[in-house]
Structure formats: structure tokens, C-alpha cells
Amino acid sequence: MVRASLLSLLAPLFLFAADASAQKSAFDKPTLEAYVRHLYNLNAALTVQVGDPKPSDLPGFSQVRVRISQGTASQELPLLISKDGKKIVQGTYYDVNNNPFKSELDKLKTQYQPALGTAGAPVVLVVFSDFQCPYCKGEAQMLRENLIKNYPTQVRLYFKDFPLDGHSWAKGGAIAGRCVFQQKPEAFWEYHDWIFAHQEAITPENLKDQVTGWAKDAKDIDVLKLGRCIDTKATAAEVEKEIAEGRALDVNGTPTIFVNGRRISQTIDWPNLKNIIDSEIEYQKTAKNAGDDCGCEVKLDVPGLPAKSPVIAPSKKK
């Protein structure tokens, strides 16, 4: 009788111990969402989406991306979670044997993109931009006026489309720009300058007429072909690919520039940008762990045929 009473008294203690040992795991999506909401004091109007865990370069940790959004505005939060699910790390880690911006460099794809400057240059600028963004307009003018004039052989500039959801004709302008690039790559920069210069006059309704009107005065542009490309949105998939690349790099606004992988996520004036470029040119003289891979090798491997020397397109120097 005494033993039975003792066991009945100990039973709640055993249950309490079992509950205490049931540790929470950050790999449980509702648990992680609740933790993030409390950590950043997020109100109920914000949507929180927890992604699936993926491998990370940091031993013992997996990466989970958390997307916080409200309407068309969003921000992604990359988190590192220990293998046991108990620890969460937010921040940046570095490997002293690699370029500190290796993660960004690995994600930046520049092959077959609109480009200016010398192929193989030691410094590469990649610009994520929006043709409807007024800040992008100012920065584009600054780059066009100064970059190649000051660095004719040392810098390569690549353009990436990142039209923002809240802009009514930005994606249409990006699609049209890719249509121009498909026809005549060098004409893209004429289009780039023109559309920024006429930004305030363009609407979703008149975009096609404005672009085809520009094309009539442009050299070697087939206006009818361009119009069909715009109507069918033939290059929309390319634009969506650029947007996805930007999101993978945590680009949340425009303009965003990467200088050999170094992120500049706010507008910058020419003297400060020049200082960064000069520093990177000097650093790459010894580091040689960034710069341009022109992607201009065209090689067709056919089984059974002897290997041929690669065909390299000559670079144009300005």
C-alpha cells in the first residue's frame, strides 16, 4: 500500500522530467517561426515563411532562410542552425584561406550579360538595377560618366535586372531591354541610357510605343522583331532568372552594386566608389582571387574527335 502511494506521488515528477527533456528544435518550422517573431518583435501583419534546411560551408551547421514579407515588400534572413537544432547563428563567418566575399562571388553569374569594359579586368562591378527606380537612374549616370573613362582596362561592368514588385512598368522595361540585347548586345547600353533619361515619361500603357519609337532611330534594330519580342514577353524567363539570382544574394533593393563581391546596398557617390575600386585593384595585384572571367570560350566537345585549341573571342578595349 505504501509503495503504491509512493509511486502515485512520483508519477507527476516523472512526467515533468519527460517534458523538460523534450528539447525544442530550430528545424521544426513552427518553433523557428515563433522564435523569430519573438526575437524581432514582428507583428501579426507580417508573414514569416521558414525554408527547408540546406547544407552550409560552416561545419556542424545547416542554413535555413526565413522570408519576412508584407504585401510586395520582403526581406530574407539567412540563419545557421546547429546539427542538433539547439543553436541559431545569425551573422557572417569567413575562411582566411579564401576571398572574404567568396560566397557572393560564387553566386554572381556574369556570362552572357550586358557588359562594359575590358574582359579579364582585375575588378568586376555587378549592378542590380531597376529602370523605374530614380536612385538607379542617378547611379547609372554616375557610372556611365566616370567608370570607363577612369578605368579603361582595369574594370568590367555587368548589368543585372532587378525590377521591384511595386514598380508598374519596371519588369516590362527589363523584358524590352533583354529583347534589345538579344538582337544587338552593344545596343543595350544605348537603350539603358535612353530609358533612364526618359524614365518620367514612361507608363505601363505607353512603354511599347516608347521603346519601338526609340528603336526606329537606333542603328540595326529590327523594330517589328522587337515589338513581337515585347508582346510575347519572350525574354521574361531571363528577367525572372536575374531576379532569382538577386534574391539568392539577399538583394532587397536597388541599386545594389557588388565590387569583386563586396556589397554596396545603398547609393554611393563617385569619389567613394573610386576609393573602393582603387583599393581592390591594388589588393588584386597580389591576392588574385577575384576579377573577371570573360566566359568568351566557345568549345564543342565531340566524342571521338581530337581536342582542338579553344576559340577565344578578341576583347574590345576602349
Give the pLDDT score at 297: 36
pLDDT, mean of residues 46-56:
95
pLDDT over 90 at 127, yes or no: yes
When mean pLDDT is compared across 196-200, 247-251, 277-281, 308-312, the lowest value belongs to 308-312
**CA neighbor of 252 nearest in space, from 65, 112, 29, 26:** 65
Give the pLDDT score at 301: 34
Write down the mean pLDDT value for the chain.
87
Confidence of residue 73 (pLDDT cuts 50, 70, 90): confident
pLDDT, mean of residues 295-308:
36
Distance CA 162, CA 170 (A): 9
Beta-strand ranges (E) seen in the chain are: 47-50, 54-55, 61-70, 73-82, 88-89, 115-117, 123-129, 155-161, 256-259, 262-264, 297-298, 311-312
pLDDT over 70 at 298, yes or no: no
**CA neighbor of 125 nearest in space, from 114, 138, 133:** 114
Give the pLDDT score at 220: 86
pLDDT, mean of residues 248-269:
94
pLDDT over 60 at 122, yes or no: yes
Is residue 83 within 8 A of residue 129, CB to CB? The reply is: no
**CA neighbor of 195 nearest in space, from 212, 179, 173:** 173
pLDDT over 60 at 94, yes or no: yes
Cell of 77: 534572413
**CA neighbor of 192 nearest in space, from 277, 293, 113, 111:** 113
Is residue 257 within 8 A of residue 108, CB to CB? The reply is: no
Report the 3 state secondary structure along 168-213.
CCHHHHHHHHHHHHHHCHHHHHHHHHHHHHCHHHCCCCCHHHHHHH
More confident of the two residues 49 and 296: 49
pLDDT over 70 at 77, yes or no: yes
- How many degrees, rounded to 5, is the angle at CA 69 between CA 137 and CA 258? 40
pLDDT over 80 at 140, yes or no: yes
pLDDT, mean of residues 221-232:
96
The strand pairing partners of 158, in sequence order, are 115, 126
Cα separation values, 28 from 25, 62, 84, 154, Å: 6, 13, 11, 49
- pLDDT digits 0-9 by tens, 154-164: 999 999 999 99
pLDDT over 90 at 191, yes or no: yes
pLDDT over 60 at 20, yes or no: no
Distance CA 5, CA 8 (A): 5
Determine if the peptide bond prior to 255 is cis (ω within 30°): yes
Give the pLDDT score at 163: 97
pLDDT, mean of residues 273-282:
97
pLDDT, mean of residues 249-274:
95
Q: What percentage of the chain exceeds 90 in pLDDT?
A: 74
